[in-house]
Copies of this chain bind each other. A is one copy, B any other.
Amino acid sequence: MIKTVEWTEEGVRMIDQRLLPTEEKYLLLRSCDEVAEAIKLMVVRGAPAIGVSAAMGIALSTKQAAVSSVADLEEDFDYFCDMMSRTRPTAVNLFWAIERMRDAFRRAKADGATQVDEVKRQLVEEAKEIFRADIESNRALGRFGGELIPDGATVLTHCNAGALATAGDYGTALGVIRGARDAGKRVAVIADETRPFLQGARLTAWELQKDEIPVTVITDNMAGHVMKQGTVDVVVVGADRIAANGDAANKIGTYMVAVLAREHQIPFYVAAPVSTVDLKIPSGEGIPIEERDAREVTHIREQRLSPEGVAVHNPAFDVTPNEFIAAIITDRGVARAPYTESLRRMVEG
Contacts and interface: CB of A to CB of B under 8 A. Distances in A.
Q: Which of A201, A303, A308 has the most CB of B within 10 A?
A: A201
A340 interface: no
Given A193-B297, A228-B255, A311 B206 contact: no
A198 B215 CA distance: 24
A21 interface: yes
Nearest to A218: B313
A214 interface: yes
Contacts of A304: 21-22
A194 B308 CA distance: 18
A315 interface: yes
B209 A309 contact: yes
A218 B312 contact: yes
A116 to B, nearest CB: 46
Interface residues of A, number: 52
B217 A195 contact: no
B217 A310 contact: yes
A220 B194 CA distance: 9
A225 B255 contact: yes
A122 interface: no
A307 interface: yes
Interface stretch (A51-59, A97-105, A138-146, A256-264): A256-264
Contact of A205 (B219, B303, B307): B307
A193 to B, nearest CB: 7
